[in-house]
Structure 1
Amino acid sequence: MQFVFWQNIISIHQSTFLSTLSNRHSILLVVEQRLDQERKGDGWSIPDMGKTKIIVAPDDKTIDNLILENKDAVHVFSGINAFPMVYKAFKKVVALDLKILVYVEPYVWFGIKGFFRRLKYMALNLCYGKNIDGLLVTGQTGRRCFLKAGFEKSKIFDWGYFTAQRAFNEGAISNENRQKPAILYVGRIDCNKNILSLVDICLKHVGKYACLDIIGAGPLTDLLIKKIDRAEDIKYLGSKTNNEVLDLMCRYDILVLPSLYDGWGAVVNEALQNGMRVIASENCGASVLLDGKDRGEAFSFVNKEKSLEKILLKWLEKGTVSLADRQNIAEWTRYSISGDSVAAYFEKICSCISGDCTHNEVIAPWLS
């Protein structure tokens, strides 16, 4: 089969999926730019995309030619109207009535802003819903959001972001004979990521964990540094590249992602691939990867019995992650969120939109 992916950037969160898919099919990736400044600031670099052919910043004539040359392909878009070049190509593909899949993250669904966002997607559904063959939604919140906006249930498929599987390095694992778990946070230092709430909880429960190390940068960095100035067990490690973060993960037991909102949260994938347990907000798409038993658990902003504080204390009581548990967690990711498993699932989605199987037969490997 032929696939054309229209995206804003060359994303590390799609690289392992597209690289694997390119070994089986003809893949063309068309992007507005290689990387944006925010991602460069987050330590991203251009990932290996395998046999995928990449075109950067095409002009209008090139977009027209690419579409005409790939009329038999399935065209996959990052959002509907989120990015100018992607939206331009989307409307041209709609006009030719070609096969269309769309990646979408949940929109902000609460408050006045959420009301108008829902109206926006209701309008987009009225305009384009009949032309979209499948909507690839991130997390359970994404599914709820687009059902409420009126998109057909039979066209909605679970999706996520996927990171490259690295060899599990047992020799790099070190808990320094700790008796208490080590906590890691990786992400922006801002209000949405809610890192200061995590710090406040840890300051309240000193002695129940070995350390909380924080990696990232953002507008609240100075306030964070001031808050932890006298804390012996909480350290701010500054910004690090993605590879540096991955090398460090084997040293920690629990990753915490306390975001108020996260379309997915690929750092959850990376932590699980390194055998860490994860605590993430229920508003984080990747919380669907957590089982509440072995891999970690989602906390709630609404249910006080499942607050961040209570869930964190529950998992701290479990102690450090043993080598056997770490191996089991990492092994689960190999058959649930690896490039091979996701590529096979994507092929199943394409079979469904072509009428070769039913919607009920298409189940995401991380949910099966």
Structure 2
Amino acid sequence: MGDKAGIVQGMHAGDPRAVQTMLASQTPFWSLLAASVLARMQGDFTQSDKQANRMVAYLEREGGLRDLEPLVMYAEILKAGNAGLAGSWKDWLVALHGLQGKYEKPLRDFFRIPSLKFINMDHITLNVPTEDLPTPSVDWAPVNHVDYVKTLQKKAVPGINPVVPVLINQQKVDAVLDTGAFISILPNEYLKSGGFKSIGKVSNSFDAEGRSDTGPLVVVDNLTIGKTVFHNVIFQTTTAKKTILGLQILKQFPHFHMTDTGVTFGPAAEYDCHRPMLLSSDPSANSAYLVFPVISDQSVRYAYLDSGNIGDALFFEHVPYFSSEEQKQATSFRALTTTGAGTFLAVYRPMTATVDGVKLTGKVQKALRHIPNLIPDFLLTSALLQHGSFYFDFPTHTLCYK
């Protein structure tokens, strides 16, 4: 059948246009799938589940429909991903557990997308029964304000470095607030200090150079940010030297406000943002990104916010090749990846664009992409914090830049 409607690609890219077109179609399965996907992209995971259940009910009524099994499976994977986006890491792992080993090839064949990835679903190996996984919880302080680590702002790398001081089991750690990552990352060296529960491993972690790593999954007893304490927090441990707090944690922060000097969050924190949220994700929600429409040269592109992308370029773009002129001008640069620092070829170009009504003039950094993927290839970097602030709140499905 294939992804003729562009729904699967649209969800990965964070581009709702093809999904909205199919929502109005008269094709029952595709319109129900579009409704589920669009609700997911708008942060309404309850509605997404409801539409996925309607899709399964329709398929079961059409019992003789060709390719019935992979379609039902896709609906179940969407619901499992919703569990992780709406709830905790434990909800996500429990929901995925029964789907492992059943879906990847049939769904690639069905959608005719050979590179379609359901990252980590078949590559998470738990060493404890799901019923023994510790239950996460949070002791919220009404309002929290945390400044970035000032010494890091003075280093040679230009731009805003959103690194905050946190406590991991009472050990002081500097952590990157990285909306471009989903699962949080902890360097292996911290395991020596204790206070961690091993729950399994991830065997297919790839960085942008295509290097593979096997990272243990651990649960941290306590993570303190500001005056708020998170209990039983999941991390993937790697050989990287930086601690990264990804969107799996950050999405839990109510009324999140990121500026050029620090972050504010909490149930009682001031929050003035009403634009409906837009997310990109893979079906299993191992990856998810906050997406903003970017208007440039009278056209709209969709870019995801990668606050861990630090430098002086406002925008970052992966490209499969350079023009001959760009090849002559390209230089190598180093960047943090899941398994350490990678070296890439890149070229800078001037760019003027509007993000949420804010006109920006700066540079786009174009980098060669070594491995194909379906995540958006156009990013907003932390340098935008020099011109405005980011807000997001998952309970109200809102996000904005101003």
- Which TM-score applies when normalising by structure 1? 0.30
Q: Where is the strand percentage greater, Structure 1 or Structure 2?
A: 2
Greater relative contact order (CA < 8 Å, ≥ 6 in sequence): 2
Q: Where is the helix percentage greater, Structure 1 or Structure 2?
A: 1
- Which TM-score applies when normalising by structure 2? 0.28
